[in-house]
Amino acid sequence: MVGGQGGKDAFITEGFDNWKKIFKVTLENAPKNENLTYPTIQKDIVNCFSKEIIKFICDEIGVVHVLDTSSLSLKAAIDTVFSNNNLTIDQVRGQDYDGASNMSGAFNGLKSLILNENSSAHYIHCFAHQLQLVVVAVAKKHDDVDEFFEQLGLVVTVVSGSCKRKDIIREKQKEKVATEIGIGETETGRGLNQEISLIRAGDTR
């Protein structure tokens, strides 16, 4: 679903309105013999629709899968997206990342790689990430919260150190999800209830 139900409905409505405008001057409504039914013209029209749809999707979500999160891989992914949408790095006017070295590093971070090509692509540390760091710092001052995350870290260490323990956790989780689905406490659908890895907790995770 693109941009939620509201975004999807708006896109369908806009597409239908555009099609009505096109229909007024094509096919049997076309002046003289300009029916726009020649295969080459039809392909051009389809390609135009395709580009508009891709642009709309990029505007709404802009999600791209990368094999790793090194600055070079991320830069290559951005270059590909820009190229596919007839954009260039020269059109970038801002960058907004967290403080990780691969993102905002002064020499080899993604920020620097883009600034090397476009000095107008100003970098701003992500405000959401800054707020998250503030929340973490405040939470650590609370003894109960600090103890909770310390115990959580120990649990993850113990469980992750044994395949048998991880299998037990996995089976228990499956049973829990199945029970909750059965009594209607958990929704089902595409992308829901996916199995995820047990990752050591960090300040921003």
Q: Is the pLDDT of residue 29 over 80?
A: no
- Measure the CA–CA gap between 89 and 114, rounded to whole angstroms: 7
Across 149-157, average pLDDT = 83
Note the pLDDT tens digit of each residue in 160-194.
Answer: 778 888 888 888 888 888 888 788 777 776 666 66
Which stretch, 64-78, 156-170, 190-204, has highest mean pLDDT? 64-78
pTM attached to this predicted model: 0.42
Q: What is the pLDDT of residue 113?
A: 92
The answer to whether 16 touches 23, Cβ cutoff 8 Å, is no
Q: What is the pLDDT of residue 36?
A: 64
The answer to whether 104 touches 62, Cβ cutoff 8 Å, is no
- Output the 3-class SS for the chain: CCCHHHHHHHHHHHHHHHHHHHHCCCHHHCCCCCCCCCHHHHHHHHHHHHHHHHHHHHHHCCCCCCCCCCHHHHHHHHHHHHHHCCCCHHHCCEEEECCCHHHHCCCCCHHHHHHHHCCCCEEEECHHHHHHHHHHHHHHCCHHHHHHHHHHHHHHHHHHCCHHHHHHHHHHHHHHHHHHHHCCCCCCCCCCCCCCCCCCCCCCC
Q: Is the pLDDT of residue 12 over 60?
A: no
Note the pLDDT tens digit of each residue in 34-63.
Answer: 656 678 888 888 888 888 887 777 777 677
